[in-house]
Amino acid sequence: MALKATIFKAELTVSDLDRGRFETHALTLARHPSETDERMMVRLLAFALNADERLAFGRGLSSEGEADLVLTDLTGAIDLWIDVGLPDEREIRKAAGRASRVVVYIYGTGADLWWKKNAAAMERIPNVCVVDLPVETTRAMAARAARIMKFQCTIQEGHVWFADAESSLAIEPVVRKAAA
């Protein structure tokens, strides 16, 4: 018998001063049995950084060739494809062919090695952006994972503050490659 996903609920208030977006989102995250708290929280952060009423969590780990988050237009065309982790370069190329924009959030101890291995290939794909999240940040976020969560996320000039009732975490994402 297959293990079922664990359901997490999050209330996420986003104040994105860079994009002029101020919204509160009631989110349901399904954590795949093989997914870590760290990866799930990176998905939540990716949502905050790209918050939009049409942005939705994809099936991610449970379905190959699917985005972790996807933003579609009213016709169903994919405007934004988001992957988290250290995806295969071929999968990113496929996503870039299907979506207007692709953002990959890399994190973890293998992120530097992944970037060294894939940097040249990423530079050849104009609609791909690669953002590196510091490992100490993603681990601190994982420690905040709970079945019911309430966070405030403020984004200004590329700096991110992620806060809950107990503490605040300053996050400085590093853009390894910007989309053209």
Task: Read off the pLDDT of residues 126-171 as tens digits, 9 standing for 90 and up.
Answer: 999 999 999 999 999 999 999 999 999 999 999 999 999 999 999 9
- 140/173 Cα distance (integer angstroms): 14
Q: How many domains does the chain have?
A: 1
Burial level of 138, CB count in 10 A (0-12/13-18/19+)?
Answer: buried
Is 70 exceeded by the pLDDT of residue 15? yes
For 74-83, give one letter per residue: b (16+ CB within 10 A) or e: eeeebebbbb
1 is a domain residue: no
- Dump pLDDT digits (tens) for 45-81: 999 999 999 999 987 555 677 899 999 999 999 999 9
> Cβ(122)–Cβ(129) under 8 Å?
no
161 is a domain residue: yes
- 147/114 Cα distance (integer angstroms): 31
- CA–chain centroid gap for 125, Å, is 19
32 is a domain residue: yes
| CATH assignment at residue 40 | 3.10.640.10
pLDDT: which is higher, 34 or 3: 34
Sign of the dihedral through C-alpha 90, 3, 12, 74: positive
> Cβ(138)–Cβ(172) under 8 Å?
no
Instruction: Using a cut of 0.85, tell me whether the model's pTM lies above it.
Output: yes
Q: Which helix (H) or strand (E) covers residue 40, if one does?
A: helix 37-49
110 is a domain residue: yes
Q: Which residues constitute the domain of residue 44?
A: 6-177
